[in-house]
Amino acid sequence: MIRNAGLDALVDGWVISERAGHKKPAPEIFLAAAATTGASLDGAWVIGDSPRADIAGADGIGVRSVWVSGGRPWTEADYRPTLVADDTASAIHHVIRTSR
């Protein structure tokens, strides 16, 4: 599906949870993604729309996060995103601007 959509040309790699044997928010899935791209989690960001899978996952591995809210209010008390964006494009823009 990733190749058919042409997304493989836009990313350095990807991990499919069923193949990796772990699902978000497990730290292993994020470590597998970093290993697949040859990157470190040092300085990494997680962008996602799931409070539990994406933002709690980022919190669990100690990296920054952007929650794509789609206009929804944040309701979790145990963890918080570093930034909130209404949409994915804005989230990516925040990460690029903040990482410079």
> Which CATH number belongs to the domain containing residue 44 in this structure?
3.40.50.1000
List the domain range (segments joined by +) for residue 47. 7-99
pLDDT digit string, tens, across residues 2-38: 999 999 999 999 999 999 999 999 999 999 999 999 9
Whether pTM exceeds 0.95? no
The pLDDT score that the predictor gives to residue 99 is 83
- Could you give the CA distance from residue 91 to residue 15 in angstroms, rounded to a whole number? 21
Average pLDDT, the chain: 95
pLDDT band at 52 (very low <50, low <70, confident <90, very high): very high
Is 52 strand, coil or helix?
helix
User: Is 55 inside a domain boundary?
Assistant: yes
User: Is 78 inside a domain boundary?
Assistant: yes
Query: Percentage of the chain surpassing pLDDT 90?
Result: 96
Backbone region of residue 43 per phi and psi (left: phi > 0; alpha: psi in -120 to 50; beta: other values): left
Query: Percentage of the chain surpassing pLDDT 70?
Result: 100
Residue 65 clears pLDDT 80, i.e. is over it: yes
Structure tokens at 27: 């730290």
Residue 100 clears pLDDT 80, i.e. is over it: no
User: Is 85 inside a domain boundary?
Assistant: yes
User: Is 40 inside a domain boundary?
Assistant: yes
The number of domains in the chain is: 1
User: Is 71 inside a domain boundary?
Assistant: yes
